[in-house]
Amino acid sequence: MPLNALQDQLSFLREIDRLKSVVRQSPLLDKSRNENSAEHSWHLGLYALVLAEYANGTVDINRVTKMLLLHDIVEIDVGDYPIHGGSSAELQAEQEGQAAARIFGLLPTQQGDAFLSLWQEFERAESDDAKFAKALDRFQPLLINVFTDGGTWNQNGVSMEQVFSRYGPAIKRGAPALWDVCEEWVTQHFSNRTTATPQQIEN
């Protein structure tokens, strides 16, 4: 048994426990608390397995699932960059790249390189697999906002146009059929809010 390899693998599995403490902006659907990045990644793994048929192009759903299980691990070092935060994309990319090198570097070299390479493919969002993974990573929080009557959109004063521009391109590119549904939901959501009384909006 390659005992040193196993020790490195256990160090990695131990380290990534910390992703359970990275809190995202999105709430759970029952609004009892905010979601963390580990359970978000679990949910996305199941989004991939359940919604595979809506992917654009030809995807290997096992690679997509794996990509989604590890896509947020860098947040252990840099935290969650919220979609409505207006942060610098360059700074984020640099910090996340360093985090990926450190954390996947805990694994035995060959395995760590394979994980790092898959994470980089996700970030580049060029392959069909990565495009679908990115689409789901946008689709899930959009769903949360629709199902919680506005969620982070309300908190951040996000307009319908901003929803379209921040979620639309990634979802449309990786899963156009899912975007068709999103467009309906989002239009409906903002149309309800426009016609609601101020008291309804406060609630």
**Site residues for its own copies per CB under 8 A:** 1, 3, 6, 9-10, 12-14, 16-21, 28-30, 32, 35-36, 38-39, 41-43, 45-47, 49-51, 54, 62, 65-66, 69-70, 107, 111, 143, 147, 177-178, 180-181
HEC secondary structure over 67-90: HHHHCCCCHHHHCCCCCCCCCCHH
Q: Are 51 and 59 in contact (CB under 8 A)?
A: no
Q: Closer to its own copies at the Cβ: 19 or 170? A: 19
Q: Closer to its own copies at the Cβ: 50 or 101? A: 50
State how far the alpha carbon of 86 is from the alpha carbons of 82, 152, 162, 171, in Å: 8, 14, 12, 20
Give the integer Cα–Cα distance in Å for 63 and 6. Answer: 23
Q: Closer to its own copies at the Cβ: 46 or 201? A: 46
Q: How far is the CB of 74 from its own copies (least distance, A)?
A: 14
Q: Are 14 and 106 in contact (CB under 8 A)?
A: no
Q: Closer to its own copies at the Cβ: 161 or 184? A: 184
Helix (H, G, I), strand (E, B) or coil at 59: coil
> Of all helices (H) and strands (E), which one includes residue 25?
strand 23-27
